[in-house]
Amino acid sequence: MSHKLVLATRNQGKITEFRRILEELAPGHIDLIGVDQFPDLVDVDETGSTFEENSLLKSRYTCLATGLPAIADDSGLCVDALNGDPGIYSARWAGKHGDDQANIEKLLEQLKDVPDSKRTARFKCVASLVLPDGREQVAEGRFEGHILHAPVGDNGFGYDPIFQPLGLSISSAQMSAEEKDLVSHRGKSLRSIAPHVTVKKYKHLWIVNGNMEIQNQN
């Protein structure tokens, strides 16, 4: 029996990774549904100050709006020489949300005078799962490495072409999908979340005084 799970993102790169990782973890048991199947859903403003806050904003809203378990993540690149930036602003570091090339160009310009020994960085991902009965699970994954001086590789998305994982001589954009999933920040967080994906059937789901109330199906 497959369990329905709504993925609270429109990022195609993330959608591909989520589907691949969850299918590997629980083949045939998770029916991942995109938010595009719910035309009334709006994009959640990421007003949180941490990855966890933003992740929960998205998963809580999506679960409440659909009545189904929802999973979301917030992730980004944290560069030590930039005091942890771009961090939660990674997807819009250059101004426009999702412009990978512009984001990479801006980051490389900021680091142009930074020596290799000071270019340490990590990807962080906080995945969150919210179930209709109010239960929540949160898990963080990290992917350590450093920033290259120029993009290398055609795989992945985001900052992958300029990120060299710790202990490797290639960028994460040169890794196969399977290799990356084993060590990536998203792979680690989803492996922690996946065992908690369960589904219960509900008859009613509504908001009362700002709280989610559920009446079990008889």
* CATH code: domain of residue 33: 3.90.950.10
* Enclosing domain of residue 53: 3-216
Active site residue 43: no
Residue 214 banded pLDDT, cuts 50, 70, 90 = very low
Give the mean model confidence (pLDDT) for residues 1-12.
82
Cα 72 to Cα 33, 125, 140, 206, distances in angstroms: 12, 10, 12, 21
Q: State the Cα–Cα distance between residues 11 and 33, nearest whole angstrom.
A: 13
Strands 3-7 and 70-79: parallel
Question: Bridge-partner residues for 137, per DSSP?
Answer: 129
Contact between 138 and 127 (Cβ < 8 Å): yes
Backbone angles phi, psi at 90, to 5 degrees: -55, -45
What mean pLDDT value characterizes the chain? Answer: 87
How many domains, in total, are found in the chain?
1
Give the mean model confidence (pLDDT) for residues 3-25.
84
Catalytic residue among 74, 100, 160, 181: 74
Q: Which two tokens stand for residue 181?
A: 């999933």
Compute the residue count for the chain. 218
| Residue 188 backbone zone (phi > 0: left; psi -120 to 50: alpha; other: beta) | alpha
In this predicted structure, the answer to whether residue 70 has a pLDDT above a threshold of 90 is: yes
Residue 12 banded pLDDT, cuts 50, 70, 90 = confident
Q: Is 111 helix (H, G, I), strand (E, B) or coil?
A: coil
192-205 pLDDT tens trace:
887 776 444 433 33
